[in-house]
């Protein structure tokens, strides 16, 4: 039918996605309030423009879009006709084309009959566009998405088929990743959705013929917990008569698989805190208790991870472990390496997923590759998994988001179960990842018998005390807010730690950078003499993670070196510490624990410090500039 050739993605389907958000509604209620509320719930993903399409009772398709926040869109819509019981909406994070009104979604077909929202990237959009232009179609923007809606219209007109058929036929010519929701002016009783490589969830409402659509479950959970997760290359047709038909791109019918969501609305709201980030910091003791539930057994002094038990032989015979991750998850991966090399006694490598996937790494079939990701959607981590699988390695996922792409792409794994993390800067997912990697290390050590019984039981006993010690840490550092206010002047920070506290220094520096926009560097404390010490003067704040165990004397010498150069010293210390306290201008205190578990406590005052510095500087804590919660573009 088309003259241009189909191009196939090589290797894997999770090629390049975007962090945009999709909401859709079809049913008996007014769509607009549901769509706008849904867009607000998706704001955490990061975006730079927003838009909405609604078909009113007269059959008019009204589209409103604007750059900036959802509130700007609302302002724009306040004087417009926003009535109608079917609609789609979108938050866009620009990849192709600047974040202006024209490029914002929803996009309209040339006739104005079809409207579409899209997450993902159409790789061959230029070829498709030239072909459509050759056929006389006109384009008003620069996006790959506009090409998709025009392609659907072109196919629909040419073959005179219903919308769902046109969507299926058009998608057969598309190379790339997509989650789409499409509506049509001439048929306001149905909506069509499809996905490949970018998640899409359909909520089935309480009333017959009521459907909700979301790029994740957050815009849906308020209305229904009955959902269907679309699989790659599936098309869903929803009708106001209540029918939900799911087919493949080749129109082979599939049975919709209904899942019950366990997330509650309370978990998505701020619960009285001024920001999600602060709420999530304070949630850590409970979140980590839940994470351990059914896995760490106090009576039996044992750890059970079904993901390991079910694949016991793979773990016993593993030659090596490679952990792939990005951002904060990379920092927890580094802590996982430290712990696993100690407990399991096999080599563990930690890789930035974005480097690993492009550098022809050596991967053996008896390697275990662990992917650590809060969202389970990070494009580079997904690509690293596919590479590992191509080499025959066993792939284990550590994710927070249930049903996420990484969770589905791995051979086995463990969910964090720390609840939804909405603040862009990761907090409870970080400590949840560290805890999960420690449990994983213990579970493998048990299978390999690499720890003595006494040591294993002692670690199992101690890990269970972490939530209570986190609570203590949160309660005993009430002066952080005031201390943070005295540092808003600073333009640079250095964070230093040794051993298990070195990744804490990296994560502490990242937190500060992300939300306060103050430049910060994390360094191994002994390395500071090889460079960073040149930066130290009376203006330079230096944060030491100087807890009692592990290289304490050595770090005390490092603190003295900074003190003699007049740096301003802040330290995280163990309760009862005297020496470091005397050397420091300010101290944050944590209870004593095994050094492998210290990071889960030591990071808490640093999370709070970053939070309060950012608040004092008037930053947008939950949605820092230029950052997105889930980086689904490579």
Instruction: In angstroms, give the least distance from the CB of 429 to ligand G6P.
Output: 7
Whether 587 is catalytic is no
Single out the segment in contact with ligand G6P by CB under 6 A; choices: 61-69, 121-129, 296-304, 322-330. Answer: 322-330
Return the number of the residue (109 or 381) whose C-beta is nearest ligand G6P.
381
- For 523, the enclosing helix (H) or strand (E) is strand 519-524
Residue with token string 């944060």: 543
Q: Any contact of residue 375 with ligand G6P (CB under 6 A)?
A: yes
Q: What are phi and psi of 558, to 5 degrees?
A: -60, -40
Q: Would you say 499 and 334 are in contact if contact means Cβ atoms under 8 Å apart?
A: no
The candidate with the shortest Cα–Cα distance to 145, out of 121, 124, 169, is: 121
Return the number of the residue (106 or 197) whose C-beta is nearest ligand G6P.
197
Return the number of the residue (164 or 631) whose C-beta is nearest ligand G6P.
631
Return the number of the residue (94 or 556) whose C-beta is nearest ligand G6P.
94
- Residues with Cβ within 8 Å of 41's Cβ and at least 6 positions away in sequence, in order, are 218, 219, 268
Single out the segment in contact with ligand G6P by CB under 6 A; choices: 117-125, 138-146, 367-375, 450-458. Answer: 367-375
User: What is the C-alpha separation between 248 and 294, in angstroms, rounded?
Assistant: 38
Q: Under rule CB under 6 A, how many of the chain's residues touch ligand G6P?
A: 15
Residues 195-214 touching ligand G6P, rule: CB under 6 A, are none
Considering 69, 196, 279, 629, which one is annotated as catalytic? 629
Applying CB under 6 A, among 91, 284, 329, 501 the residue interacting with ligand G6P is 329
Applying CB under 6 A, among 122, 205, 629, 632 the residue interacting with ligand G6P is 629
User: What is the C-alpha separation between 229 and 105, in angstroms, rounded?
Assistant: 23
Return the number of the residue (398 or 587) whose C-beta is nearest ligand G6P.
398
**What is the contact mask toward ligand G6P in residues 142 to 181, using x (rule: CB under 6 A)?**
----------------------------------------
Single out the segment in contact with ligand G6P by CB under 6 A; choices: 246-254, 292-300, 474-482, 626-634. Answer: 626-634
- Residues with Cβ within 8 Å of 352's Cβ and at least 6 positions away in sequence, in order, are 324, 325, 326, 330, 380
Give Cα separations from 236 to 179, 192, 548 (angstroms). Answer: 11, 6, 58
DSSP output for 129-163: HHHHHHTT----S--HHHHHHHHHHHHHHHHT--H
DSSP output for 412-481: EEEE-------SSS-SHHHHHHHHHHHHHHHHHHHHHT-S-HHHHHHHHHHHTTHHHHHHHHHHT-TTHH
User: What is the C-alpha separation between 237 and 162, in angstroms, rounded?
Assistant: 11
Q: Any contact of residue 50 with ligand G6P (CB under 6 A)?
A: no
Return the number of the residue (124 or 218) whose C-beta is nearest ligand G6P.
218
The candidate with the shortest Cα–Cα distance to 584, out of 556, 552, 548, 550, is: 556
Q: Any contact of residue 190 with ligand G6P (CB under 6 A)?
A: no
The candidate with the shortest Cα–Cα distance to 402, out of 201, 177, 627, is: 201
Q: Would you say 55 and 86 are in contact if contact means Cβ atoms under 8 Å apart?
A: yes
Applying CB under 6 A, among 104, 177, 326, 340 the residue interacting with ligand G6P is 326
Considering 20, 77, 324, 399, which one is annotated as catalytic? 20
Q: Would you say 334 and 293 are in contact if contact means Cβ atoms under 8 Å apart?
A: no
Instruction: Spell out a b/e string for 415-454, using b for 16 or more CB atoms within 10 Å of the CB, else e.
Output: bbbbbbbbbbbbbbbbbbbbbbbbbbbbbbbbbbebbeee
Q: Any contact of residue 627 with ligand G6P (CB under 6 A)?
A: yes
Whether 629 is catalytic is yes
Give Cα separations from 83 to 26, 117, 213 (angstroms). Answer: 13, 19, 19
439: alpha, beta or left? (left if phi > 0; alpha if psi -120 to 50): alpha
Q: 3-state DSSP call for residue 225?
A: coil
Closest residue to ligand G6P using C-beta atoms: 327
Q: Would you say 323 and 363 are in contact if contact means Cβ atoms under 8 Å apart?
A: no
Q: Any contact of residue 631 with ligand G6P (CB under 6 A)?
A: yes
Q: Would you say 599 and 549 are in contact if contact means Cβ atoms under 8 Å apart?
A: no
Instruction: In angstroms, give the least distance from the CB of 622 to ligand G6P.
Output: 11
Q: Any contact of residue 420 with ligand G6P (CB under 6 A)?
A: no
DSSP output for 369-394: EEEEESSS--HHHHHHHHHHHHTT-E
Instruction: In angstroms, give the least distance from the CB of 619 to ligand G6P.
Output: 15
Q: Any contact of residue 506 with ligand G6P (CB under 6 A)?
A: no
Single out the segment in contact with ligand G6P by CB under 6 A; choices: 276-284, 302-310, 312-320, 323-331. Answer: 323-331
Applying CB under 6 A, among 18, 124, 215, 378 the residue interacting with ligand G6P is 378
Return the number of the residue (277 or 536) whose C-beta is nearest ligand G6P.
277
Sign of CA dihedral 413, 418, 419, 420: negative
Applying CB under 6 A, among 62, 328, 584, 632 the residue interacting with ligand G6P is 328
Instruction: In angstroms, give the least distance from the CB of 513 to ligand G6P.
Output: 11
Return the number of the residue (334 or 424) whose C-beta is nearest ligand G6P.
424
Return the number of the residue (67 or 327) whose C-beta is nearest ligand G6P.
327
Return the number of the residue (19 or 305) whose C-beta is nearest ligand G6P.
19
Applying CB under 6 A, among 150, 154, 373, 584 the residue interacting with ligand G6P is 373
Q: Any contact of residue 630 with ligand G6P (CB under 6 A)?
A: yes
Q: Any contact of residue 244 with ligand G6P (CB under 6 A)?
A: no
User: What is the C-alpha separation between 399 and 375, in angstroms, rounded?
Assistant: 7
Instruction: In angstroms, give the least distance from the CB of 330 to ligand G6P.
Output: 8
Single out the segment in contact with ligand G6P by CB under 6 A; choices: 91-99, 211-219, 544-552, 625-633. Answer: 625-633
Instruction: Provide the token pair at 485.
Output: 């206010």
Instruction: In angstroms, give the least distance from the CB of 283 to ligand G6P.
Output: 16
Single out the segment in contact with ligand G6P by CB under 6 A; choices: 85-93, 371-379, 551-559, 562-570. Answer: 371-379
- Residues in contact with ligand G6P by the rule CB under 6 A: 326-329, 373-375, 378, 381, 424, 426, 627, 629-631
Active site residues per annotation? 20, 629
């Amino acid at each position: 039918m088309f003259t241009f050739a189909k191009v196939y993605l090589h290797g894997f389907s999770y090629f390049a996605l975007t962090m945009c958000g999709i909401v859709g509604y079809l049913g008996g209620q007014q769509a607009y309030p549901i769509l706008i509320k849904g867009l607000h719930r998706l704001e955490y993903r990061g975006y730079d423009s927003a838009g909405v399409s609604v078909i009113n009772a007269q059959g008019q398709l009204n589209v409103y879009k604007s750059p900036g926040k959802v509130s700007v869109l609302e302002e724009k819509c306040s004087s417009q006709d926003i009535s109608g019981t079917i609609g789609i909406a979108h938050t866009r994070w620009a990849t192709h084309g600047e974040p202006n009104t024209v490029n914002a979604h929803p996009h309209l077909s040339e006739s104005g009959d079809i409207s579409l929202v899209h997450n993902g990237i159409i790789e061959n959009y230029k070829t498709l566009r030239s072909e459509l232009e050759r056929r006389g179609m006109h384009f008003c923007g620069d996006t790959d998405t506009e090409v998709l809606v025009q392609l659907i219209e072109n196919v629909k007109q040419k073959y005179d088929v219903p919308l769902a058929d046109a969507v299926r036929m058009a998608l057969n010519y598309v190379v790339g990743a997509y989650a789409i929701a499409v509506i049509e002016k001439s048929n306001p009783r149905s909506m069509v959705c499809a996905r490949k490589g970018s998640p899409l969830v359909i909520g089935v409402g309480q009333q017959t013929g009521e459907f909700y659509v979301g790029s994740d479950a957050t815009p849906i959970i308020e209305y229904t917990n009955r959902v269907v997760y679309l699989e790659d290359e599936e098309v869903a047709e929803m009708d106001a008569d209540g029918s939900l038909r799911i087919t493949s791109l080749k129109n082979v019918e599939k049975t919709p698989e209904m899942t019950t969501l366990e997330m509650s609305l309370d978990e998505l709201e701020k619960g009285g805190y001024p920001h999600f980030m602060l709420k999530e910091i304070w949630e850590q003791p409970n979140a980590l208790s839940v994470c351990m539930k059914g896995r760490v057994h106090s009576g039996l002094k044992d750890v059970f991870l079904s993901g390991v038990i079910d694949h016991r032989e793979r773990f016993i015979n593993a030659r090596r472990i490679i952990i792939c991750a990005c951002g904060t998850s990379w920092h927890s991966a580094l802590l996982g390496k430290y712990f696993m090399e100690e407990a399991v006694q096999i080599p563990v490598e930690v890789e930035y997923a974005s480097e690993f996937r492009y550098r022809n790494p050596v991967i053996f079939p008896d390697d275990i590759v662990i992917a650590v990701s809060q969202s389970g959607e990070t494009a580079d981590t997904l690509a690293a998994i596919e590479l590992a699988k191509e080499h025959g390695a066993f792939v284990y996922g550590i994710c927070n988001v249930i049903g996420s792409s990484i969770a589905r792409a791995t051979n086995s794994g463990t969910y964090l179960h720390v609840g939804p993390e909405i603040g862009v800067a990761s907090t409870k997912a970080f400590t949840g990842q560290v805890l999960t990697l420690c449990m994983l290390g213990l579970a493998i050590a048990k299978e390999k018998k690499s720890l003595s019984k006494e040591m294993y039981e002692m670690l199992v006993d101690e890990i269970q005390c972490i939530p209570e010690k986190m609570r203590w840490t949160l309660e005993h550092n009430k002066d952080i807010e005031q201390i943070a206010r005295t540092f808003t002047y600073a333009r640079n920070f250095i964070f230093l730690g040794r051993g298990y506290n070195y990744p804490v220094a990296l994560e502490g520096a990242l937190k500060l950078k992300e939300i306060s926009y103050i430049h910060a560097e994390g360094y191994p404390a002994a390395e500071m003499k090889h460079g960073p010490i040149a930066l130290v003067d009376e203006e330079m704040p230096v944060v030491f993670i100087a807890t009692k165990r592990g290289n304490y004397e050595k770090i005390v010498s490092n603190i003295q070196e900074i003190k003699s150069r007049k740096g301003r010293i802040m330290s995280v210390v163990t309760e009862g510490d005297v020496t470091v306290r005397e050397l420091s201008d300010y101290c944050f205190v944590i209870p004593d624990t095994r050094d492998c578990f210290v990071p889960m406590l030591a990071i808490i005052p640093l999370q709070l410090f970053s939070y309060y510095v950012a608040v004092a500087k008037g930053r947008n804590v939950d949605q820092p500039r230029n950052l997105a919660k889930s980086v689904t573009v490579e």
